[in-house]
Structures are given as C-alpha cells and as structure tokens.
Structure 1
Amino acid sequence: MIEALKPLVLAAVVTLILGPPVLAFLRRLKAGQTVRSDGPRSHLAKAGTPTMGGVLFLIGLTVSTLVLAPPSPLTLSTLILTWGYALIGLVDDGLKVILHRPLGLMARQKLGGQVLLGLVAGVAAMLWLGRGSVIQVPVTGWHWDLGWYYPLLAALLLVATTNAVNLTDGLDGLAAGITLWVALAYGILALTLGQGELVTFAMALAGGCLGFLVYNFHPARVFMGDTGSLALGAAIGFLAIMTRTELVLPVLGGVYVLETLSVILQVVSFRLTGRRLFRMSPLHHHFELGGWPESRVVLFFWALAIIMALAGLYLLTI
C-alpha cells in the first residue's frame, strides 16, 4: 500500500511546484473566467480568476504516471485519452477567454469530439488492451457480452462522465475534491485486481487533484476550466472501463449523477409545469441560494462523495 501512495505524492508535489509559474502565465495570458450574471451574486467577485488551470494537475498526473507506471500500452492509452478530452476543453476555454467567443466551441463540435474519442477508446480497450466486450452486472454475478456494441457503451459512458464532471465544476474545490475521492476508490479497486498501471494512474490522478486544491479551494486562485473537467471525467470513465465497473460507476461517482440529474429534472419540471424543483441547478447552487456558505456546500458534497465511493467499493464485494 505504501508503494501505491508514491504516485499520489509525486503528482501532488509536481502540481504544487508548477502552481506559481502556471498561474502567472495564465494571468499574463489574461485567461480570466467570466461569471454567469444569473448565478449567485457571491460569484461575481470571481470574475477574472484565471481558468484553464486543469493543465496543472494534468502535468502532475502525466509526470507521476510516466515515472512510476510500468511502460505499457495501457499506461499510454490512459494518458492519451485523458489529454485528448483535455484538448477539447482547452480549445473551448481558449475560444471563450482568449478570443472572447462566449459560447466557445459549438455544441455539436464539442459533443462530436467527445463521441469520437469515446468510440476510439472503446475499440482500443476491447481489441488492444485486453478488456474485451463483456460487462459485469454487480451483485447478480451476471455477465453480458456486448460484442461490437461495446464501443457504443464506452462512448456513452465517457461522454456522460465528462459532462457530469463539467456540471459539477461550479464551486471552488468541488469537482477536484470529489474526483480525489473517486480516484482513490479506483486506486484501491485496481490494487485488489492487481492492475498495477491503473493503480499508478488512479493514485496519480488523486494526487494531482490534491495538489490542485491548494490553489482551487475557496477562495480559488485558479479554476480548472473545461480543460480540467473534461480530462477528469475521461480519466474516471476510462478507469471504469478498464476495471469493468461501468455499471458501478454511477454509485462510485454518485455525486456526479446527482448533479446531472438535478439539471435534467429542473429542465423537465420547468417545461412540463412552468415550475422549478430547485432554486437553481446544478444541485450545489440550490444549497448556495439556500444560504449555505460556499465552503460548507463543498465540504458537504465531499462527505457525500466519500460515502458514495465506499458504497461503490462495498457493492463490488457482494
């Protein structure tokens, strides 16, 4: 277990060291975040905070994984996929904050890139990385061979996870803190499965998030942007794919699911009845507008993330 902590520590240290120069560069680039005018008024003070800070933990994750993981197609695949989704987010962020195109990438461009990467990842996992096309149904012990439908499931999973993390990234330290616990759960799971490369990757991901929180917890000095949120979602999604826990991910990453469901339910309720279920969605804003301080909301969701991660691990033992 001590060996498994090395990637976490190295990624955290690299992320911490890179913080000051990267933040200075983003300020010179004038990569400041714009803030929604219809959001909580307390968020208006965040306008201009540097974004695209996801590159910080991405570098920490990459350095730690390459230094400590056994060189293999799986190691490279996890990093390439994570950076691929990060690149989509980086382009989107750049268009918004540097070229001042408020909407960034067009929705179909962004979604198209995510689906394409997801399909490639599904095929690679099935044919080249030894994952196969069988999914396991938790608790029941059932197995289901999807054959060539598996890449479609993989793409759906990756697109859903990346966008769920993106929705979750609305408060200082929220997405990074939640992903820290989900990544730790996957590190423990991979350790029990004897998947050394995934142990290193998952723990390095947790370490990158931990180091990033020093700069991202309230009051945040930098935001991860879509660069970071899409990368985190891809990393978690691919961990689920390679550990064959696609159907357990909604429990392990239960907070992502709650945040996404709150948005869906809000839209459906308003269209059908003209009323909103929540003060504002995603769900974290509902608590904010209810008078909770931002840090309290974040810590509450972190605690919920820990409970869900433990529940997911327990589910795999039944």
Structure 2
Amino acid sequence: MRQILVAAMVALAVSITVTPLLIRVFTRHRLGQQIRADGPASHLAKRGTPTMGGLAILIALWCGYGAAHLVGMSYGGTGTTASGLLVLGLATALGAVGFLDDVIKLSQQRSLGLTASGKYLGQVSAAVLFGVLALHFRGGSGLTPGSRQVSIVRDISTVSLGLTGFLLAAIFLVVAWSNAVNITDGLDGLAAGSVGLALGSYVLVTFWQYTHSCAVKAVPGCYTVRDPLDLALVCAAGTAACTGFLWWNAAPAKIFMGDTGALALGGLLAGLSITTRTELLMVAVGALFVAEILSVLLQIVMFRTTRTRLFKMAPFHHHFELTGWPETTVIIRFWLLAAIASATGLIAFYGEHLTTTGSRLP
C-alpha cells in the first residue's frame, strides 16, 4: 500500500509541475494545436493552444512508478516486473507514434498528421512486440504477463486462442483502445478525466488480485495474474498523472494532450486489460470510450448505406455540442457516465469473486 501511495503522490506532483513548464516552452515556440475546419465553430477559438501535453503524463507515469520502487527497495520490497515494464513500454511506444503524428501536424500546420496507414503501422508494430514479449518472462509461479486464454474477469481455461489468436487479439485491443481514447480526446479534459476514472478503478482491481493471488494462497476465487501489485503501481501512477494534467487541461484548457497522450493512455488501458487478464471487463470499465468509437463507426455505416447521418457530428460528444449543450456540460455529464461505467465494472468484478468463492453479501 505504501508503494501505491508513493506512485500516486510522485506522479501527481510531477504531472502538475511539468505541465506548466511544457505550456511555457510550447507557447514560446508557437507549437499550437490546429483545429478541424468541419468541427464545432466554438472550437476555432482554441487554435494555437499548446499541444503534446501527453509528454507530461508519460514523464509523470515513469517517475511515479520508479519512485515507488525506490521506496520499496528501502524496506526490502520487490523490484520492477515484466508485467509493469511491458505495460509502460507499450504506452511509451504508442506515445512515440502519437508524438510523431503531433510533430507532423505542427510542422505542416494542419489538423492531420500521420496517414492512417502510417499510424496503424506504428500501433500494430507496438502491439505485436508487446504480445510476443507478454508470452515470455515466466515468473516463479510459471505465469507469463499475458495468457492465451480468453479472459472476462479471469482466464476461461477451456477457451484457448493459441499464439496466432493471442497476437491478433492483442493487435485488435491495442488499436481499438488507443483509437477510442484518441477519438474521445475532443473536449477539454474529457479524455484525461475519463481515463483517470478507469485507471482508478483498476487500482482497486489489481490490488484485490494481489491480496487474493493464487501464488499466496490457492483457494477458490484466487487470481492467476503474474504481477498484480506492480500493475497496481502503474494504475496509481497513471491515475495521478491524468489528474495532475487535468489541472491544466480542464476547460478552458491551457494545453492539450495531443495524440502523444491519447495513444499512450489507450495503450495503457489495452496493456492493463491483457496483463490483468480482464480484457472483457475493461469493456465495461471503459464503456464511454467504447461508445465514442462506436458512434464514429455507426455514423460511417449509416452515411454509406443511407446517405443520412445518425448524429449531427461524430464522435457523439460533438453531437450534443451541436444540439446546444455548453462544452462544460457535455464534459461533466460524460465524466459522470465514465464514473458509472467504472463503478459498474467494479461491481461486476466483485460480484464474480463472490460467485466463484460461494460467498454472499452481508
């Protein structure tokens, strides 16, 4: 628990202090966001707002994680683990793809950076490397960070994907989650706040997995996750990093996270879902992001088949803006939806544990 608190406090402190430094540097060099011409007219005033703030989130994430392990070593705690480093590595790799995308946008002075194929190439490459490595590094209990089994709240031992199936699933999850968070990042603070809520719920999930690990005591309802405590440190650092960034990113935003932050945070969600063996549970916890990317897909399908639009504009947070909701109203209500989704996921997680152990609520 001490390490979790240290990870959160250090990440919060770093994020909330590094972000204004980036604001000053990016403002001085005129590294400002370009705005879509077809977006809501109210967003045009945001043109020139510093972007690439996701760098602060990544720096805070690594600092929080590293500080927690330095403190842990002082009283005989375990060192870094394969699971934690793989998830952080995936987030950083996707952040690098997003950084390249942001740099191209700024250098070309346009709202589009990498081509779709270029971005997918980066995402798929990161996913394949993560997937291959996740099936190595067996711990003392013989577990690897990833599992070939299909997972909801835990592995379903009777359903195996095999190596090819696992890699394809990893590619799908990484591409889907990174793009879903990127699409959600269209209003001030919406993505940072929503991801922070999802990661906060996973602090509880991973810590519960640690206290009920089969490596500690093999009883009904225990969890076969390789490094749950280390993943809890990653989640705590990620939650705090998003919170510190949100201080400056909340409406009216002083800085945007850009693709640097959005792709990195999406990779964080994907990596955590795989290493905690809760891929389908993450769909419930991150239901807001699922709804956002589905709104884009539905809009495309609807227009191509009927030449009509389901929403005034996709992703659907813009739809509510165009119907007259103030931006802050949309953000707060979507945060509430994200909080409900996170709570629903936690209830499902705990409910499954009770069912597995044969326990009942008092």
Paired position in structure 2 for 1:74: 83
Greater displacement, 247-256 / 16-25:
16-25
Could you tell me whether the CA contact under 8 Å between 1:12 and 1:210 is conserved in 2?
Answer: yes
Matched, 1:126 2:135: yes
Q: Deviations over 1:19-49 (max 9, x none)?
A: 2221111112321111112111110110000
Could you tell me whether the CA contact under 8 Å between 1:33 and 1:48 is conserved in 2?
Answer: yes
How far apart, in 2, do the equivalents of 1:291 and 1:8 lie? 38
Matching residue within 338, 342, 345 for 1:309: 342
How far apart, in 2, do the equivalents of 1:301 and 1:142 lie? 36
Could you tell me whether the CA contact under 8 Å between 2:91 and 2:268 is conserved in 1?
Answer: yes
Paired position in structure 1 for 2:185: 169
The alpha-carbon deviation at position 203 of structure 1 amounts to: 0.7
The alpha-carbon deviation at position 142 of structure 1 amounts to: 6.3
Pairs within 5 Å for 1:61-210: 61-69=61-69, 70-100=79-109, 102-128=111-137, 130=144, 131-137=146-152, 143-148=158-163, 149-194=165-210, 195-210=228-243
Aligned partner letter, 1:287: F
Matching residue within 200, 213, 218 for 2:246: 213
How far apart, in 1, do the equivalents of 2:256 and 2:152 lie? 37
Could you tell me whether the CA contact under 8 Å between 1:121 and 1:155 is conserved in 2?
Answer: no
Paired position in structure 2 for 1:272: 305
Q: Note the residue ranges of structure 2 that are not aligned, 5 or more in a row.
A: 70-78, 139-143, 211-227, 353-362
> For residues 102 and 178 of structure 1, do their structure 2 counterparts lie closer, same or farther at Cα, with a shift above 3 Å needed?
closer
Pairs within 5 Å for 1:286-297: 286-297=319-330
Could you tell me whether the CA contact under 8 Å between 2:105 and 2:112 is conserved in 1?
Answer: yes
Q: What secondary structure does 1:144 align onto?
A: strand
Paired position in structure 1 for 2:47: 47
How far apart, in 1, do the equivalents of 2:306 and 2:108 lie? 39
Could you tell me whether the CA contact under 8 Å between 1:29 and 1:98 is conserved in 2?
Answer: no
Work out which of the two has the higher radius of gyration on C-alpha atoms and give 1 or 2.
Answer: 2
Q: What secondary structure does 2:280 align onto?
A: coil
Could you tell me whether the CA contact under 8 Å between 2:8 and 2:239 is conserved in 1?
Answer: yes
Matching residue within 266, 274, 286 for 1:253: 286
Aligned partner letter, 2:149: V
Paired position in structure 2 for 1:59: 59
How far apart, in 2, do the equivalents of 1:39 and 1:107 lie? 19
The alpha-carbon deviation at position 81 of structure 1 amounts to: 1.3
Could you tell me whether the CA contact under 8 Å between 1:137 and 1:143 is conserved in 2?
Answer: no
Normalising by structure 1, report the TM-score: 0.95
How far apart, in 2, do the equivalents of 1:119 and 1:132 lie? 14
How far apart, in 1, do the equivalents of 2:86 and 2:4 lie? 20
Q: What secondary structure does 2:313 align onto?
A: coil
Q: What secondary structure does 2:135 align onto?
A: helix
Q: Deviations over 1:41-73 (max 9, x none)?
A: 110110000010100111111100111143222
Kindly tell me the number of residue pairs found equivalent between the two proteins.
Answer: 318
Detail structure 1 runs of 4+ shifted over 4 Å in the superposition: 138-143
Could you tell me whether the CA contact under 8 Å between 2:192 and 2:242 is conserved in 1?
Answer: yes
Normalising by structure 2, report the TM-score: 0.84
Q: Deviations over 1:135-167 (max 9, x none)?
A: 224599664211212111011101100000000
Could you tell me whether the CA contact under 8 Å between 2:35 and 2:111 is conserved in 1?
Answer: no
Once the two structures are aligned, what percentage of the paired residues are identical? 41
Matching residue within 316, 332, 352 for 1:299: 332
Could you tell me whether the CA contact under 8 Å between 1:8 and 1:203 is conserved in 2?
Answer: yes
The alpha-carbon deviation at position 10 of structure 1 amounts to: 1.4
The alpha-carbon deviation at position 290 of structure 1 amounts to: 1.2
How far apart, in 2, do the equivalents of 1:224 and 1:109 lie? 20
Greater displacement, 283-292 / 134-143:
134-143
